Homo-oligomer: A and B are copies of this chain.
Amino acid sequence: MPKLSQEMKDLLTEEMRKRILTAGEKILLRDGLDEFTMEKLAHEAGTAAGTIYNYFDNKETIIDAIMENSFQRLLQTTAGIAAKPQPAESMLRELAEFMLEDFKRVRRLHEAIMQRHPPISREKMRTGHRKLIDGVSQIIRQGRNNGEFNTDDMVLAASAFLGIIREMQFDPCGLFEHKTSRELADAAVAICRSGILGRGREK
């Protein structure tokens, strides 16, 4: 009984943590960081404010965890994509599409979180971003080893790729609203391949 009960308890605890984080993400997405209050979080999670402190030390920890989760999802997907046997270009396309899709969901979350200094630990942001850059760099490196690409600065390339995607999903004016993630991903990869300026002068 103690063993099983312990496992049970852990499970419930984990469940509750997830519930809180999910609620938090929802608020961040819907209302932004400025309206992320513990009271609101509790309400959204269906508990009392005090209860949350049984699962997290304080507000900052929660924001951190949400951010961490979000990066985790992204990094795992990146790793998964990089592991499949396929041309690097396909990888980038797939990743772009996932990011556009995921970021459509998480757009406001990242918007809300990213540039906030305190109370959000910049460190988490830094390492997360770094890992993401590394993941994309790996893909591009594979592409070079394949003979697909020819870049020598992987980090620069990865950064540009991410910048293009991020701008697409940031899109505060709704310029790309009518395009599907698929189309945008294709466009992004096309740009990566040939530049944004087309080949006007190559003639």
Contact = CB atoms under 8 A, between A and B. Distances in A.
Interface of A: 31-35, 89, 108, 110-112, 114-119, 122, 125-127, 129-130, 133, 140, 143-144, 146-153, 155-157, 159-168, 170-173, 175-176, 187-188, 191-203
Contacts of A166: 163, 166-167
19 contacts: A34-B119, A35-B117, A112-B116, A115-B170, A133-B173, A143-B197, A148-B197, A148-B201, A149-B198, A149-B201, A150-B202, A156-B176, A156-B191, A159-B175, A160-B164, A160-B191, A163-B163, A163-B167, A194-B194
Nearest to A200: B150
A109 to B, nearest CB: 10
Nearest to A166: B163
Contact of A148 (B125, B172, B200): B200
A172 to B, nearest CB: 5
Q: What DSSP secondary structure best describes chain A's contact surface?
A: helix
A115 B117 contact: no
Given A172-B122, A198-B150, A112 B112 contact: no
Most buried by B among A112, A146, A176, A193: A193
Most buried by B among A164, A196, A198: A196
Nearest to A188: B160
A158 to B, nearest CB: 8
A122 to B, nearest CB: 7
